[in-house]
Amino acid sequence: MLQIFYAQILQKNIIQLHSSLISHQNHGIMFLGPSGIGKTTQAELWQKYRSSLIINGDIVFVQETDSGFLGWGTPWHGSSPYCENTSVPLKAMVVLKQSDQNSIRELTGFEKVTEVSNSVFYPQWLENGMELCLETLDHLLTSIPVYELRCRPDEDAVRLTEQTIFS
């Protein structure tokens, strides 16, 4: 059922990413990375320390619109309990890495493409699915900044990310 649904929404410039999504002051921040890296943990830290809404903790739809990109919650939430039926304009994507020190930097070029494309669900069963997906992904990566956050699961990681994205 999900494959049929994804094939339909892909035609409308919507791609699916393995990520968590929060709404902070009506701006969307996506946390990306492999399972177990701390995507939901980061979202919960933002909820705890900044009263941000967790829209989804595991699977997010990203839609290209005339005015930018929207992050959408999905009814599928994997191991996370969060799945709000709402959307938010995307402000940034944050690729997570675990570390004993908090640091953040903006990704560029091939590194940006590699880190984000690892989180995309590619519809290989659909004849032109890869092309549609890659076209939307290309537009996304040229429009929305991508950061690498090496962090501990603490409020300082939230503060550092917030200062970087919103300053």
- How many folded domains does the chain comprise? 1
pLDDT of 12 higher than 90: no
pLDDT at 3 over 70: no
- Could you tell me the pTM of the whole model? 0.93
pLDDT, greater one: 81 or 3: 81
Host H or E run for residue 139: helix 129-143
CATH number of the CATH domain containing 57? 3.40.50
* Dist. CA 68–CA 39, nearest whole Å: 23
Q: With cut-offs at 50, 70 and 90, classify the pLDDT of residue 123.
A: confident
The Cα 91–Cα 15 span in angstroms is 17
Range of the domain at 55: 2-166
Residue 91 is predicted with a pLDDT of 98
Instruction: Give the C-alpha distances (Å, rounded to integers) separating 128 from 21, 119, 120, 133.
Output: 27, 19, 16, 9
Contact 43, 55 (CB under 8 A): no
Q: pLDDT tens across 132-146, in order? A: 889 999 999 999 999
- pLDDT (tens digit per residue) in 36-88: 999 999 999 999 999 999 999 999 999 999 999 999 998 877 778 888 999 99
Cβ(29)–Cβ(94) below 8 Å: yes
